[in-house]
């Protein structure tokens, strides 16, 4: 046994260990370079995703050798996003490197806003606006999941950014993010959840609170009295429908035939081009009413999580469950240019792809 220790601690053993370490590092370094080239040069979406996945999992630390400057998982997520948008000729999102060698994004026309990915230990990347620290969407490359954060969309775009930008500018800013989600779904079979950006007429946005005080709807009736819009009671006293321009209808109602009678918003648009987010963005009256009673009117998100198969197989099945309630950021009734700024977002480090995303 003593002889073994002498051999292991001999100069020859140390040189051999150093040589083996160099060989491992050179092999790993070549793999790293190949993945970087693939990320930068491929025109195939599946190859792009494969390179990004492997790069986010790379560990270049070595006891003997220090690699030159290299990037972190968040940077590879940003480069992946930039390349996929580039492949689809989307030019309104620009990716650049800051002074800390981190890749950041700017979204036109929000020239003053900086976005970075923040990656949790489970590999989930949150596309986070840096001034207000709002995670606009979540992405998991390994599990092929993408979900917008309803609460952050309202906090950043409706409460904060609308003080500086017009509604049309903000709609332009959100378009490339929706395009990115759709590219993930179409090119790479991601499961995506657009949340309050969904424009389908049959989409119902259930409220976080199961019960609704009808005085909240009464306050909308009062507000419509000052406009040319008409608010109508729905049959069976199941809610109200606001008639807006261009044939758009905005409902707050419950299904009288459903035992649960859960309240929900619904947007009905002849062209299915208008989302709940658009209603808040474009119609000052609705926005003021909504923000004044946001505690009661916050929308519940349908959560995307990964649940193991019964046989514990490697492949996992996707399920949706309602998320846990979250108190929305407090706001007070105000006009378009003086709504309160949102409360600072809490740092979220879930163990699964699961978030509190009530808007």
- From first to last of the 359 residues of the chain, give the pLDDT tens digit: 444 444 456 766 766 766 776 676 677 778 888 888 999 999 999 999 999 999 888 766 655 555 555 688 999 999 999 999 999 999 999 999 998 889 999 999 998 899 999 999 888 999 999 999 999 999 999 999 999 999 999 999 999 999 999 999 999 999 999 999 999 999 999 999 999 999 999 999 999 887 898 899 999 999 998 888 999 999 878 899 999 999 999 999 998 877 788 999 999 999 999 999 999 999 999 999 999 999 999 998 666 654 343 333 333 333 333 443 344 444 443 444 444 443 343 334 344 445 655 67
| Euclidean distance between CA atoms 276 and 266, whole angstroms | 7
How many angstroms separate the CA atoms of 71 and 50, rounded? 17
Query: Quick check: 168 and 214 in contact, CB under 8 A?
Result: no
Q: How far apart are CA 99 and CA 280, in angstroms?
A: 37
Which tokens hold the place of 75? 């940077």
Which two structure tokens, joined as six digits, stand for 152?
Answer: 């952050």
| Encoded tokens for 166 | 């017009």
**CA distance linking residue 72 with residue 74, whole number of Å:** 5
pLDDT of residue 148: 96
What residues does 139 pair with on adjacent strands?
A: 125, 146
Check if the beta carbon of residue 287 is closer than 8 Å to that of residue 280.
Answer: yes
Rounded distance, CA 355 to CA 301, Å? 9
Phi, psi of 207 (to 5 degrees): -75, 150
Taking the C-alpha atoms of residue 80 and residue 88, their distance in angstroms, rounded to an integer, is: 13
**SS3 (DSSP) at 93:** strand
Residue 97 CA: distances (Å) to CA of 9, 94, 105, 119: 45, 10, 9, 17
State how far the Cα of 276 lies from the Cα of 199, in Å rounded to an integer: 8
Question: Is residue 178 a contact partner of residue 194, using CB atoms and an 8 Å limit?
Answer: yes
HSE-CB of 194 using CA atoms within 13 angstroms = 24
Q: How far apart are CA 281 and CA 276, in angstroms?
A: 9
The pLDDT value recorded for residue 177 is 98
């Amino acid at each position: 046994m003593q002889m073994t220790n002498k051999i292991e601690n001999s100069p020859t053993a140390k040189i051999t260990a150093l040589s083996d370490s160099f060989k491992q590092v050179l092999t790993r370094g070549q793999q790293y370079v190949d993945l970087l080239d693939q990320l930068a040069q491929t025109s195939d979406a599946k190859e792009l995703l494969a390179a990004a996945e492997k790069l986010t999992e790379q560990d270049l630390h070595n006891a003997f050798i220090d690699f030159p400057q290299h990037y972190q998982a968040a940077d590879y997520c940003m480069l992946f996003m930039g390349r996929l948008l580039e492949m689809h000729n989307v030019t309104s999102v620009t990716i650049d490197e800051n002074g800390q060698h981190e890749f950041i994004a700017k979204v036109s026309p929000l020239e003053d806003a900086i976005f970075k990915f923040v990656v949790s230990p489970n590999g989930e990347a949150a596309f986070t606006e840096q001034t207000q620290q709002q995670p606009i969407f979540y992405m998991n490359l390994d599990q092929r999941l993408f979900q917008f954060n309803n609460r952050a969309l309202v906090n950043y775009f409706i409460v904060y950014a609308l003080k500086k930008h017009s509604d049309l500018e903000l709609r332009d800013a959100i378009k490339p993010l929706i395009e990115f989600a759709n590219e993930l779904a179409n090119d790479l079979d991601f499961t995506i959840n657009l949340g309050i950006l969904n424009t389908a007429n049959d989409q119902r946005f259930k409220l976080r609170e199961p019960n609704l005080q009808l005085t909240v709807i009464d306050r909308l009736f009062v507000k419509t009295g000052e406009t040319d819009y008409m608010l109508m009671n729905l049959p069976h006293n199941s809610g109200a429908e606001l008639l807006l321009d261009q044939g758009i209808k905005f409902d707050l109602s419950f299904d009288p035939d459903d035992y649960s009678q859960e309240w929900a918003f619904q947007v009905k648009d002849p062209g299915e081009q208008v989302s709940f987010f658009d209603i808040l963005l474009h119609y000052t009256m609705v926005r003021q009413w909504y923000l004044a009673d946001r505690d009661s009117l916050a929308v519940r998100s349908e959560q995307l999580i990964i649940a193991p198969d019964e046989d514990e197989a490697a492949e996992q099945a996707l399920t949706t469950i309602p998320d846990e309630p979250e108190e929305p950021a407090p706001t007070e009734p105000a006009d378009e240019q003086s709504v309160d700024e949102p409360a600072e977002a809490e740092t979220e480090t879930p163990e699964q792809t699961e978030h509190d995303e009530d808007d």
